[in-house]
């Protein structure tokens, strides 16, 4: 799905891009990055299409998604861990 088609699906779902990203717990910056690529990943396309269809059938998708109590993912892995400073004779301290 192209980014333009994705935005049309959001319009059909009556949801803005910032509210969409907040609802599905994905950073808005992450979703905006798809604009440069001119297409969105399949999972995002499916979500937007489902939301538009549910809105068309008067299904309250927002409450349904909120009831899932989704959690935003945090960055993990090399380079994202807290760095510690080791002082001779002391325990390591966080920077």
pTM for the predicted model, two decimal places: 0.74
pLDDT for 21-61, tens place per residue?
999 999 999 999 999 999 999 999 999 999 999 999 999 99
Model confidence at 77, in pLDDT bands (50, 70, 90)?
low
Enter the tokens of residue 3: 């980014």
Q: CA Rg, the chain, in Å?
A: 19
Q: Is 23 helix (H, G, I), strand (E, B) or coil?
A: helix
> Do 61 and 50 meet the contact criterion of CB atoms below 8 Å apart?
yes
Q: Is the pLDDT of residue 74 over 70?
A: yes
Residues spanned by the domain of 47 = 1-95
Q: How far apart are CA 84 and CA 92, in angstroms?
A: 6
Q: What's the structural domain count of the chain? A: 1
């Amino acid at each position: 799905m192209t980014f333009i088609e994705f935005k049309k699906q959001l319009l059909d779902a009556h949801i803005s891009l910032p509210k969409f990203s907040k609802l599905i717990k994905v950073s808005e910056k992450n979703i905006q990055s798809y604009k440069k690529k001119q297409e969105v990943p399949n999972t995002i396309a499916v979500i937007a299409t489902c939301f538009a269809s549910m809105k068309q059938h008067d299904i309250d998708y927002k409450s349904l998604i909120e009831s899932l109590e989704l959690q935003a993912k945090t960055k993990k892995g090399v380079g994202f861990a807290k760095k510690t400073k080791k002082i001779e004779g002391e325990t390591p301290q966080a920077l």
